[in-house]
Structure formats: structure tokens, C-alpha cells
């Protein structure tokens, strides 16, 4: 009794390979095969490249948030002070900071005094927000101490103030110039509270890369901010930096417990949750649209296989009379279609990864072709996002492309398997 060959036997792969590389003169569809392969490759490349750029944009966006702001902010609920006035300051901020600093995963805790004032220089005005912070704590903020974008020396921070590049541009000031700060909550007199006006020298200019920070923020030494805003002996809040800001929710409860009763927690995700959700929705929409593009590309495999089945009808009839089963014929054409999908997917992923790895060179090439200057465009507000290849995105892309390639191959493969050998050989 003859032994039945196992599925996907070597002869099935041999026949599939002959069909895959057959020329039109031999009854093949090599041109259609190349079109199908090119379509799948370009579709997968577009998907990988787009997801990489979107991931890079999201990483850059998150970095601008966590690179210049606290990961977690601790502040007090509203209460009445000893004079019966409503306040939210932290009277025991030093002890509270020590307790919070002992929470596992907390990297740094910085007391902070905040207030809004009017900045004036060169007959220009700007509404700004003062962040009163110790110099050592300020040096730990990555986006503020970036030597590539900042000017001045933080060693001189205690001799003046550090301002954002947008504030400097609005007021027309540089290093060594003076800025007048006016606060409505100022000096207490017998006739009430009068505005506090004081001049400070600019000792440092930073560029955090965010318009809302660079255009509105000024850092002032912590003790000076306490005096300026009448916060002697208290702080407005604690800025907390953690090891893993992407999972900041896991730190919230331990930090709140360490801070004590009457305190509230606010994370960077709470302040930017709407923007992050919008980015996630855009990513999902882009993935769906590009998945449709991959589906259209894989449909070329179906049309190519249908043409191949039609041209190879006589061969299929002969193979069936020689003893090949419907299953064997089915697997032959599945191998042909799946091979196009696999090769196209691999090439597309490789091209997409190479694109992401050389995104800076591609930006430079675009500058040469268009005759534009990237630096000048960035100064005008244009943003050139980096590209970041993420393994989950690659896995999703590969599974999508291979899955669609295998699915669209089933119909023409079944049609070939069910071809009646008598009808196939009638006109041969």
C-alpha cells in the first residue's frame, strides 16, 4: 500500500516555486507576481514608517511634558490659616518632602512656590508664572538645563532669575539685562496690600521646546520667591520626579499616603490626558486606514492567483490524474500566495525600519531637494518628529500583513483544488 505524502511535502514546494517564477510564455504571471510583491512591500513599508513617526512624535511630546514639569504634584486642600484666610500652602513642606522622598521609585522631591506676575522690560509687558525653586532642584530638570538650547550658567542662578526663551524674545532681553516683576499680592501696609515691584537680573535663558513653557515661565530662587510672594516658612506644592513616569499612576497612592492627610495628588497624565487620548485616537485611525491600504495591496495576490489558476488549468488537470489530491493542489497555491505575502512583508518591514533609523538623513535630503532650511522652518514653528520603531507596532504590522495575505489566498487556492480534471483537460 502506497504511503500518503505528508502535507507541504517537498514536491508541493517545488511545484509552487515553479509557478511563482514562471514567465508569461510558460503560462505564468510573473508580472502580476511582481506587482503583488511590490504592492505588499510598499503598503507594509508605509505602515511601519507611519507608526514609527507617530511613536517618535508621541515620545517627543511626552518628553516635552515630563522633561520640564513634575511627574507628580502634591498640594494641600483648601483650609483657613491662623488669620482666618483661605490658603492651600504646605506649612510642613520639609518634613513632607522627606516622607515622600522615601517612597520607592521617587527620584527627587522639590518644594515649590508659584505665583503669576507681570514682567516688564524695554517698555514691553508679558504675563508670566514664577516658579520658586532651589538651584540644585532646577539643575535636575532635563529640558531646562539642556546645554544645546540654553544660554548662561546656572551657577549664577541665585544672583537673579532664569527665564524662558519666549519670555526673553517678548521682552527683548538677554543675559545680564534686568526685568521688573510686579505682583498684585505684595507688601502689607496699614492701608491694605500694595503691589510688590522688584527688579531681577537675567542669569539664565532656557528653551524647553514647548511654547506654553518658554513663553510664560520664570524660575526664581526658592527663598527669594518666599519673600516676594509672602510665603515665609511655607511652600505652595511639592514637585515629585519618579523613575518610570509612563506608569505614574502606580506611584500616586504611595505618595499620597506619605504626604499625609489633607493633601491631593495631580500627575502629568491628569494635566495632559486629553492630548494623549487624542494622539491615541489618531494612531488607531491611522492604523485602520493603512490596514485598508495593506488589504488593497494583498488583493493583487488574489487576482494574480486567479490568473495563474486559469493559465495552469491543464497542468492542474494532469497533476490530478497523476494522483495529486485536492489538498495537495490547495497547498501548492497557498504556498504561492503566502510566499508573496511573506516576502513582501519582510521587505516592507526592512524598508520601514531603515527609514526610521535614517529619518534625520531623509529630512536632510528633503531640504536639498526642496531648497528649504530645516533650522529656519523649526524657528517658524514647524516640527520635524523623530522616528521610533516599537516592537508592538512591528508585531501588529507583520500579523496584519501575513494574516491578510493568507486569507486572500484561500479563495483562488480552493478554486484550483476543486477544478475538475476532465474539464481542465478537455481543450488541451
More confident: 394 or 88: 394
State the residue for C-alpha cell 509557478: 19
Q: Is the pLDDT of residue 378 over 60?
A: no
CA angle (405, 301, 283) in 5-degree steps? 50
Q: What is the pTM of this model?
A: 0.72
Q: How far is CA 333 from CA 166, 230, 255, 297, 421, in A?
A: 64, 81, 61, 18, 16
Distance of CA 11 to the CA centre of its chain: 48
Q: Is the pLDDT of residue 186 over 70?
A: no
User: Which residues have CB under 8 Å from 140's CB, separation 6+?
Assistant: 108, 110, 241
| 309 vs 419: CA distance, rounded Å | 9
pLDDT band for 160, please (50, 70, 90 cuts): very high
Of 341, 318, 315, the residue nearest 26 (C-alpha): 315
pLDDT at 190 over 60: no
Q: Name the least confident of 12-16, 86-90, 115-119, 167-171.
A: 12-16
Give the pLDDT of residue 76. 85
Which tens digits make up the pLDDT trace of 70-127?
A: 889 998 887 766 666 677 888 888 999 999 999 999 999 999 999 999 999 998 999 9
Once rounded to an integer, what is the mean pLDDT over residues 348-366? 87
The torsion angles phi and psi of 386, rounded to 5 degrees, stand at: -75, 175
Phi/psi class of residue 371: alpha, beta or left (left: φ > 0; alpha: ψ in -120 to 50)?
Answer: left
Per-residue burial over 187-197, b if 16 or more Cβ lie within 10 Å, else e, is eeeeeeeeebe
For the cut 50, the answer to whether the pLDDT of residue 27 exceeds it is: no
Instruction: Provide the pLDDT for residue 220.
Output: 94
- Whether the Cβ atoms of residue 410 and residue 301 lie closer than 8 Å to each other: no
Amino acid at each position: 500500500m502506497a504511503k500518503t505524502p505528508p502535507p507541504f511535502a517537498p514536491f508541493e514546494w517545488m511545484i509552487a516555486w515553479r509557478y511563482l517564477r514562471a514567465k508569461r510564455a510558460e503560462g505564468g504571471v510573473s508580472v502580476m507576481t511582481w506587482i503583488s510583491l511590490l504592492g505588499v512591500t510598499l503598503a507594509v513599508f508605509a505602515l511601519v514608517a507611519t507608526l514609527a513617526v507617530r511613536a517618535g512624535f508621541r515620545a517627543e511630546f511626552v518628553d516635552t511634558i515630563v522633561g520640564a514639569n513634575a511627574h507628580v504634584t502634591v498640594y494641600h486642600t483648601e483650609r483657613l490659616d491662623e488669620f482666618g484666610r483661605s490658603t492651600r500652602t504646605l506649612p510642613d513642606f520639609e518634613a513632607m518632602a522627606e516622607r515622600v522622598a522615601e517612597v520607592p521609585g521617587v527620584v527627587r522631591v522639590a518644594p515649590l512656590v508659584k505665583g503669576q506676575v507681570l514682567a516688564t522690560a524695554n517698555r514691553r509687558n508679558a504675563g508670566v508664572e514664577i516658579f520658586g525653586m532651589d538651584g540644585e532642584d532646577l539643575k535636575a530638570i532635563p529640558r531646562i538645563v539642556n546645554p544645546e538650547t540654553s544660554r548662561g550658567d546656572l551657577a549664577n542662578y541665585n544672583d537673579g532669575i532664569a527665564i524662558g526663551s519666549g519670555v526673553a524674545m517678548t521682552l527683548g532681553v538677554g543675559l545680564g539685562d534686568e526685568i521688573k516683576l510686579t505682583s498684585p499680592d505684595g507688601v502689607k501696609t496699614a492701608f491694605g496690600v500694595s503691589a510688590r515691584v522688584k527688579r531681577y537680573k537675567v542669569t539664565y535663558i532656557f528653551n524647553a521646546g514647548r511654547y506654553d513653557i518658554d513663553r510664560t515661565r520664570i524660575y526664581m530662587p526658592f527663598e527669594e520667591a518666599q519673600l516676594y510672594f509672602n510665603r515665609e516658612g511655607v511652600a505652595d506644592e511639592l514637585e515629585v520626579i519618579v523613575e518610570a513616569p509612563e506608569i505614574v499612576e502606580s506611584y500616586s497612592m504611595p505618595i499620597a499616603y506619605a504626604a499625609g492627610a489633607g493633601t491631593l495628588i495631580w500627575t502629568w497624565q491628569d494635566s495632559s490626558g486629553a492630548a494623549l487620548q487624542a494622539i491615541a485616537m489618531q494612531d488607531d485611525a491611522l492604523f485602520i486606514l493603512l490596514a485598508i491600504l495593506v488589504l488593497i495591496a494583498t488583493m493583487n495576490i488574489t487576482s494574480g492567483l486567479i490568473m495563474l489558476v486559469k493559465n495552469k488549468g491543464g497542468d492542474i488537470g494532469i497533476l490530478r490524474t497523476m494522483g495529486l489530491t485536492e489538498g495537495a493542489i490547495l497547498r501548492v497555491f497557498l504556498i504561492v500566495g503566502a510566499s508573496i505575502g511573506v516576502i513582501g512583508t519582510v521587505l516592507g518591514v526592512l524598508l520601514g525600519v531603515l527609514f526610521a533609523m535614517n529619518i534625520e538623513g531623509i529630512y536632510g535630503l528633503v531640504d536639498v531637494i526642496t531648497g528649504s532650511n530645516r533650522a529656519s522652518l523649526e524657528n517658524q514653528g514647524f516640527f520635524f518628529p523623530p522616528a521610533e520603531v516599537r516592537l508592538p507596532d512591528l508585531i501588529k504590522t507583520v500579523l496584519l500583513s501575513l494574516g491578510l495575505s493568507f486569507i486572500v489566498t484561500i479563495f483562488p487556492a480552493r478554486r484550483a483544488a476543486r477544478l475538475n480534471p476532465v474539464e481542465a483537460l478537455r481543450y488541451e
